[in-house]
Amino acid sequence: MIVSSNIIGKDQVQYMGGVVGHQNGASIDNIMIVSSNITGGKKSFGVGGGVGFIDNFSKVKKVYVVSVIVTQFGRQDNYVGGVVGSSLDTDIQECYSYGFYRSWIWSNERRSSRVV
C-alpha cells in the first residue's frame, strides 16, 4: 500500500502521488495506491497514483488506485485519477481506478471507472 499526500501553492506543478515502478515475475495479491493532492497554483498537472510496468508473467489479483485532487484556483488543470502504464504477459484479475476531481472556482465533477 502506498499512501501519499501533497499540498502545493506554486504554479506549473507536476505531481505523482504513489508509484509502483517495475514489477518483474512477481505474485502479488493486492496493490493499493491512495493519494491526495491539494494544489493552489495554476497549470497544475496531478497524477493520483501510477503503476509503471507489470511484466514477465507476473500475477496480480487486484489493483486499486484511489486518488483525490483539490485545485484551489483551477485554471488549466489536468488530472488523471489512476494509471496502469503497461502490462505485458501479466495475469491481472481485477483493476479498479477511482478519481475525484474538484476545482473550487471552475467546475465540480466526479469520475469513477471500473475495468475488469
Query: Which residues contact residue 61 at a Cβ distance below 8 angstroms, ignoring those fewer than 6 apart?
Result: 28, 29, 30, 92, 93, 94
pLDDT for the residue 75: 52
- Mapped onto helix, strand or coil, the DSSP state of residue 102 is strand
CA-to-CA dists, residue 52 to 7, 19, 49, 71, 85, angstroms: 23, 7, 10, 25, 5
Note the pLDDT of residue 29: 75
Q: Which has the closest alpha carbon to 20: 36, 6, 1?
A: 1
The contacts of residue 116 (CB under 8 Å, 6+ apart) are 94, 95
What was the pLDDT predicted at 107? 41
Statement: residue 93 has pLDDT above 60: yes
Domain with 84 in it? 2-115
In this prediction, residue 116 carries a pLDDT of 38
What local confidence, expressed as pLDDT, does residue 18 receive? 60
Q: What is the pLDDT of residues 99-111, one digit of tens each?
A: 655 554 434 444 4
pLDDT of residue 114: 44
d(CA 60, CA 24): 11
- Looking at the structure of the chain, the number of domains it has is 1
Cα–Cα dist 44/71, whole Å? 8
- Name the DSSP class of 56: S
Segment 1-50, tens digit of pLDDT: 666 666 555 555 555 556 666 666 667 777 776 666 665 555 555 555 55
